[in-house]
Each structure stands twice: as C-alpha cells, then as structure tokens.
Amino acid sequence: MSDRLTLTKELLGRLVAFDTTSHKSNLGLISFVEGYLEGFGIESRRVPTADGLKSSLFATIGPSGVGGIGLSGHTDVVPVTGQAWDTDPFTMVERDGKLYGRGTADMKGYLACVLASVPELVARPLKTPMHIVFSYDEEVGCTGVRPMIAELGKTLPLPRMVFVGEPTEMGVVDAHKGPVRWRVEVTGRAAHSSMAHLGVNAITYAGRLLAELGRMEEELKRLPPNPRFDPPWNTLQVTEIGGGTASNIVPVPCWFGWEIRALPGFDVSAFDTRLRRFAAENCLPEMLRTAPEAGIEITITNKVPAFGADTKSGIVPLALKLAGQNETFAVSYATEAGLFQLGGAPSVVCGPGNIAQAHTPNEFVRVAELDKCLGFIERLADWAEQ
C-alpha cells in the first residue's frame, strides 16, 4: 500500500472523528485542516458564518496570480439520528477493504485524498495552482458555500475550474438536477368542531393545494423526458406536513413542504405562479368570507441551481482524461457545482465512493476508490506542471 494511501486512511479517520453534522459547528475540523496545511507552510483563509460557529476554508498551493484548479468538498455530514449503525459512526472502522463511518463516502473520503496529496503538491513545480475549497452546510441546501463563492474573484482568487468531489465512483458527472423547495402555511380560524361552519379548516384548504400539486406532478411527468437522468423528468413531491391542534377543534394551522427537482434548463417559475394563483382563486375567497384573518403563505425556502457543465473551458475533456473515462454521467442529486459555475468557475463532479452509501447507516467508502482518487489528483498535478 502506498504511503499516500496510508496517510489518506489516517486523515479520513481524523476527519470522521469530528462530528460535523450540519447543525453543529465544523470549527474543530477546520482548525485541524488549518494546522495540517500550516505544517506544509500553506496559509488558509476562513470564510466564517456571522455567528462564527462554522467556517469555509480556502487555501492555495502553488503560484498566485494565475487561475488555479479548485478541489472542492463540503465538511458537513447528515445526522445519524434514528439510524441503526453496527459501529460508532464517528470512529472509522476498516473491514474487507471498506472504511466505515459517517461521511466516509459523502464526502470526507475526498477531503482526505486532497489533504493526503498536499505533501506531493507542495513539492512539485506547479504552474497552475491548486486551491483547497472546503465548505459547510452543503447537506442543508448548499448554503455554506455561497458566501465563499461570493468572494471568488474579489478577496479570494477565482479558480479557472473546480472539481467537486462528491461520490461518483470517480465517474465524471457533467449535469445534475436543481432542487427548489417551498413551504406553504395555511392559516384558518378555530371553532368547536361541532360548529365547523364557524371556523375555517386549514387542513381542508391545504388538501386542495396538495391535489393541485398532484396534478402539476402528473403534468411534469408528461413533458418530453431527458433520458440522461433517472428518473428522466422533473420530479415534484410533498416532503413534509403538519397541522391541527386537537381532535375537537377546527384546525387553524396547516403547513407543508414541497419540492421540484428540476432538469437543467427547466424554469420552475410557472409552477410557482400556478400554485399561488390556485390559492388565490380556489381557496382564499372562501376562507376570507368566514375569517378575514385567514391566509395562505407560499415561500421559496431553498433553491440550488441545476448544473450543466460548461463546454468552453475544456473542463469535461480534462476530467475524462484524468479519470480515464470516455463518457460523462448525469445525476439526480444536487451538488455545489452549479453554484461554482454561476460564480464564474466551470465545474464537474468527480469523487470517490458511491452515492448509494451516502446518508445511510454503515456508510462506507472502498479503499480502492480512495486509491483511484489519489491517482486522479496525481495526474492533475502532472497536468498542472505543464
């Protein structure tokens, strides 16, 4: 086993041990990475949250003043709550060529590969610099990377290209869907449930809205499919719901969350407008007749842009060459790639591990995947010397 692979495993064990579940601070991990980079004389820049409890990290290896290559990953992981793990999720365990632990696939394995490549990267005469670009809060709507992207080309250098190391088994992903999420709050009026006509039942009106969403979902399925994606249509679904007060009270509150995962190039705004119009025409007039304080509030809570790789920068052919692949893939999950690209840095997604293991109990990454990723970074370093 190569020294670099041994170092990768050691580093992954350290990274997994930091419980960086999205709602917790990631500063322990960030300090660890800063200290590690400092050991090689590399300065890091933090882009912290306003409350200072979380931070992104940006660091450069190689010359400054030249467009570099971003190696990008998120430091946060999804919760282990309610999952039945065979081992402690925050203590990495190796068994049968697999490394188990929360975040091993999504995506601390990639972070470990990047960090384990640092000793070699600093030793090489790079003409194109490498940027380490680590974010937080990816798992809660790709929110943490946005303030850092806003600094690219201003207080931080704008990378010429960004490789986002989400788990693709080192395949090259050049397109993904973009989720848009809404929260709908229906407010009715309370009454004793024996006197239903005096109240406004928020759940009844929420039901009408849900039925309309069901019709919208069917329409989205009938649009011309994009066979690169599985499933090949824009998916729409209701993901959360809550409401009511007690079994004998006309319910005042009802809320639900819904989402569309949009194909690249699909504009969801017509569907946003449609639900608002349906509420205004088919629910509100009736509700207001009984209770002027009744209402329906529809808010977009999160929007991650869909991603289609740029074709002018040469990033896709380069990624294919480095990964030893000859075709690209599209995926249905979202990443930070679309945001980097909107921020001016062409991106592709390529990283170790399989998305099927992400977010699950007994998450693992294969050692062989990490080895492939180290090879990818090594070939990238060769390219960066030219």
Residues marked active site are found at: 76, 138
Residue owning tokens 């990953």 = 73
Inter-axis angle of helices 202-222 and 269-282, to 10 degrees? 140
Stretch of residues binding Zn ion (CB under 5 A), selected from 11-19, 107-115, 188-196, 290-298 = 107-115
Within its chain, how far is the Cα of 20 from the centroid? 15
Question: Do residues 136 and 75 touch, judged by C-beta distance below 8 A?
Answer: yes
Q: How far is the CB of 114 from Zn ion (least distance, A)?
A: 14
Q: How far is the CB of 354 from Zn ion (least distance, A)?
A: 12
**Which CB contacts under 8 angstroms, 24+ apart, belong to 223-232?**
226/263, 226/330, 228/175, 228/329, 228/330, 229/175, 229/177, 229/263, 229/330, 229/331, 229/332, 230/332, 231/332
Nearer to Zn ion, 99 or 107 (CB): 107
Which residues from 213-232 bind Zn ion, rule CB under 5 A? none
* One character per residue 60-99, x = contact with Zn ion (rule: CB under 5 A): ----------------------------------------
From 70, 73, 58, select the one nearest 12 (Cα to Cα): 73
Interaction between residue 339 and Zn ion (CB under 5 A):
no
Q: How far is the CB of 338 from Zn ion (least distance, A)?
A: 14
Number of chain positions touching Zn ion (CB under 5 A): 3
Stretch of residues binding Zn ion (CB under 5 A), selected from 83-91, 101-109, 291-299, 374-382 = 101-109
In our burial notation (b when 16+ CB lie closer than 10 A, e otherwise), range 240-272 reads: eeebeeeeeebbbbbbbbbbbbbbbebebeebe
Stretch of residues binding Zn ion (CB under 5 A), selected from 41-49, 102-110, 153-161, 367-375 = 102-110
Nearer to Zn ion, 174 or 363 (CB): 363
Interaction between residue 169 and Zn ion (CB under 5 A):
no
Nearer to Zn ion, 201 or 335 (CB): 335
Torsions phi, psi for 369 (to 5 deg) = -65, -40
Of 12, 71, 92, 107, the residue at the interface with Zn ion (CB under 5 A) is 107
Nearer to Zn ion, 68 or 352 (CB): 352
Stretch of residues binding Zn ion (CB under 5 A), selected from 6-14, 113-121, 166-174, 367-375 = 166-174
Q: How far, CA to CA in Å, does 158 sit from each of 58, 150, 367, 383, 384?
A: 11, 10, 32, 19, 16
Residue 285: asked if its preceding bond is cis (omega within 30°), the reply is: no
Q: How far is the CB of 60 from Zn ion (least distance, A)?
A: 23
Q: How far is the CB of 138 from Zn ion (least distance, A)?
A: 6
Residues that bind Zn ion (CB under 5 A): 106-107, 166
